[in-house]
Amino acid sequence: MRTRDGVLVYRETQSSDASTKTIDLDLVDPVTGLYIELEATNGATSNKGNFLSDCITKIEIVDGSEVLYSVNAIEAQALHFYKQGKTPTLFPSEFADGTQREGFFILFGRKLYDLAYAIDFTKFKNPQLKITWNMAAIRAVGATGYVTGTLKLTVVAKVLEGMSAPGRYLMAKELMSFTSSATSGAEERKELPTDLPYRMLMTRHWVQLSDVDEVTSDLKLTADADKYIAFNRKVKQLDAEAFALFGAGRVKHDIFTQHQVAFRLLFNKEPSLLAFAWEDATPEIVGVRYTWSSEGKLDLNDNAGATISTDMKMTAVEEGHALHATLPLPFGDLWLPETWFDPTSYKKLELIFTSGGTAGTCAVVAEQVRPN
């Protein structure tokens, strides 16, 4: 057995700012993962708080009407982090005429080149990868958003050439997304499928300037009206455990801002920021006023102590955890399938969200073992 890279699309420019790219997956050897890279150009004025991952609204693998894998780019990047233990390629930029680039893996095994779990596209009639985008999802295309027609797309299949196909792969799907209740203590019960074993769940609890546990205070996974309770926990503690298990991430982040004007961060929990460069021949006085809950502010003064009230370019290193305000919920040891959760003996499986009193964008992603 040996590995090879099958380049399906390389930096292909997409003329439409809102469309779907369909790629046939006619690979005859097992595939351990797909590397997806995105690139686009900022407008002539700026492009604030507008990540490429916001604009890629769906990444799915289908076989006709059957969905074999389905997430958005935000979820795919978070899964990459929790599965590979590394921050995906993220170069966010707010600079005028700047280039934003993001790259991440869609992984069909426990990690890249896992020989026990990989997808075998020959087992399906017409497998296709579909990537859907809307470059105006956050900001209108133009001077303060993305330049029209500049999205470039790369897809590379990581192929296990000559290997006998395993009988299964790891399938990730967004099961639901919703706006959570703003009433503190309110419960929302979400029914989950019981058809396949779970390796992990991943939830999202996002609104800028709120921690994940301020959106959702508690999570409970219950089967058959509490016949079995997998967990019933405070989100604040679950997040702390996730930090202990998966650690922090780091990205280079180009920010276009002024004194005490808020900007968006990628990490929700315990973010830190080191702003270390700017375009000015005269040294400035730079301080971090705060970084928390997916948001930051800088204190920016000139060398005479006067506040800077026009936007300026700042290059920063951002660190933190809870990428995109996500929370991983692993079942047992992520490497040992005998410790994962098999719900097939239960009739009803529910994930119960208890509101922390702040409405936010929530989602549930399941990673399950699926036969080829």
| Domain identity same for 300 and 218 | yes
| Domain identity same for 161 and 219 | no
pLDDT at site 131: 98
Q: Which domain holds residue 114?
A: 2-166
Task: Give the residue from 205, 217, 177 showing the smallest Cα distance to 268.
Answer: 205
| Domain identity same for 211 and 287 | yes
| Domain identity same for 223 and 350 | yes
Q: Is the per-residue pLDDT at 20 higher than 80?
A: yes
Q: Point out the domain boundary residue: 104, 136, 166.
A: 166
pLDDT digits over 79-94, tens only?
999 999 999 999 999 9
**Where do we find the tokens 């503690």?**
237
Q: In the structure encoding, which two tokens stand for residue 320, read together? A: 């933190």
| Domain identity same for 199 and 332 | yes
Instruction: Provide the mean pLDDT of the chain.
Output: 96
pTM, 2 dp:
0.96
**Does residue 267 contact residue 321 with C-beta atoms inside 8 Å?**
yes
Residue ranges of E strands in 14-126: 18-24, 31-41, 56-63, 66-71, 89-91, 99-107
Q: Exposed, middle or buried: residue 133 (CB in 10 Å: 0-12, 13-18, 19+)?
A: buried
pLDDT digits over 311-353, tens only?
999 999 999 999 999 999 999 999 999 999 999 999 999 999 9
Helix locations, the chain, DSSP H: 52-55, 73-84, 212-215, 235-246
Domain count, the chain: 2
Q: Point out the domain boundary residue: 143, 166, 189.
A: 166
pLDDT digits over 183-208, tens only?
999 999 999 999 999 999 999 999 99
| Domain identity same for 88 and 159 | yes
Task: Give the residue from 329, 255, 317 showing the smallest Cα distance to 78.
Answer: 329
Q: Point out the domain boundary residue: 121, 140, 166.
A: 166
CA separation for the pair 132, 144 (Å, rounded) = 22
- CATH code for the domain in which residue 197 is found: 2.60.120.730
**Does residue 79 contact residue 328 with C-beta atoms inside 8 Å?**
no
Of 123 and 304, the structure prediction assigns the larger pLDDT to 123
pLDDT at site 280: 67
**Where do we find the tokens 């990205």?**
251
| Domain identity same for 139 and 224 | no
Residue 345 has φ and ψ, to the nearest 5°, of -85, -5
| Domain identity same for 137 and 179 | no
Task: Give the residue from 342, 360, 275, 353 showing the smallest Cα distance to 312.
Answer: 275
| Domain identity same for 142 and 246 | no
